[in-house]
Structure formats: structure tokens, C-alpha cells
Chains A and B, each alone.
Chain A
């Protein structure tokens, strides 16, 4: 089965740039989606199809997927960005949705 690998944690100071990676076999050939989940809340889609943002998501959130790994970049990090972030793809060979293990973003 397809596996997505994320770092368990990333720490960044306010105003700096956070980069969260998502690795997987030949991930560049897949569309990668990213979710933000704050404690006690449902996940929220922040980036879809590698680099597109849903309406209402700040431009500070961006994504890239030009190879392994895919990356979610959060610019000018704010305290309110502190959350768990999950990457997700669709594995066409199994017709399964796959989530990464999640990364806890800590704003110092």
C-alpha cells in the first residue's frame, strides 16, 4: 500500500517561514492535498491539487510538488497557524485515499 511520510513536528518563530514535507514513492505524479487541523476541530483543506488554495485560505499558505517530497509552505507564520497538518493523495492503483502521519506545527 502507498505510504506518505511526514516529519512528526516542525517549529518556527512568528513571522518566519514554515515548510512541512510529505514524501512518497513517485509523489510528483500524484496530486497532493493539505489539511490543517486544530485541537478538537475537523480538518480544513488549505491546499489542493499540489498548489491551489480554496477560497478563504490566506495566500501565506502555498504548496509545491515538483518531486519528492511535496511541500506545504506557510509564510509569515502566525500564532494561529499552530496546528496539525496532514498531506493526502489518491492512490490510483488501489483506489484508496491515503493520509500522511501528520506534522505538528509549533509556533515558538
Chain B
């Protein structure tokens, strides 16, 4: 059974650094094809992809936020950590971690899906002084 759960502060002050942890179970991020992303959603607005980390420790970031984001993993703890620097009130949002459907081999070769089959419940982060 795959589960993911986000944890971190509910309130941060402007200019502070946010650190969020995604603790997951039911799969290993060391297994080929596994990938975990962070996605956020401001209140009443659309989903926005932030970052992704892969089984081989490859990392990918949203171009618009790249300079502020760092994603990392602790495979022994089954955790993925996201840090976001220089927080601003516009960063107020629910932050989700989600697993991408694992890649697999078929008759055509290796296929890497890019949909999210499991999501955490989300954690609301408010940026305010």
C-alpha cells in the first residue's frame, strides 16, 4: 500500500526558508523508475509543479522557482525534502508530494509515465509576518 505524507511548519515569516518533508511508504525511491514530485496549490487556484527527484538522484525544478528550490532524498528514511528560500506571502499554498507512476519495460522498450498515481494529503503553509 503506497502512502505519502507531508510535514512541515504551518506558518513561516517572509524571507524565511521553508523546509518540507515527504515521508512515504509502499515503495523505495532507490528502485529504478521511481520518482517523487512536489506540487503546490494556492488557495482557490490551480496546481503548480515545483520539483522532482528520481531513483537515480536526478533532480528537476520549475524554471520560475529554480533559484529558490532544493529537493533531496533520504532513501534510508523513505523521505523527500523540499526547501524553498526567501518565502513570500504569494507562496502561501497547500504543498503536496506525489509519486509518479513508475517507469516500466514493454515491447517497445522503457516507458516513463508522467502522471501522479499517489498523492499526500497536503500541508497548508501560510507566509505572514
Contacts and interface: CB of A to CB of B under 8 A. Distances in A.
Interface stretch (B14-22, B24-32, B78-86, B117-125): B117-125
A73 interface: no
The range of chain B's interface size is 20 to 34
Contacts of B113: 31, 48-49
B64 to A, nearest CB: 8
Contact of A98 (B49, B52, B120): B49
Q: Which of B39, B47, B48, B63 has the most CB of A within 10 A?
A: B47
B128 interface: no
Interface in A58-108: 86, 88-90, 94-102
Contacts of B115: 31, 33, 45, 48-49, 88
Contacts of B101: 48
How extensive is the interface on chain A, given as a class? 20 to 34
A3 B119 CA distance: 23
Nearest to A32: B115
Interface in B104-121: 113-117, 119-121
B120 A96 contact: no
Interface in B41-60: 46-49, 52, 60
B107 to A, nearest CB: 16
Contacts of B62: 96
A86 B98 CA distance: 15
A24 interface: no
A90 B114 contact: yes
B37 interface: yes
A48 B113 CA distance: 9
B117 A99 contact: no
Contact of A99 (B49, B119, B120, B121): B49
- 9 tightest A-B contacts by CB? A90-B114, A33-B115, A97-B49, A42-B119, A48-B115, A99-B47, A102-B46, A101-B46, A42-B122
Interface of B: 37, 39, 46-49, 52, 60, 62-63, 96, 101, 113-117, 119-122
Interface of A: 1, 31, 33, 35, 42-45, 48-49, 54, 86, 88-90, 94-102
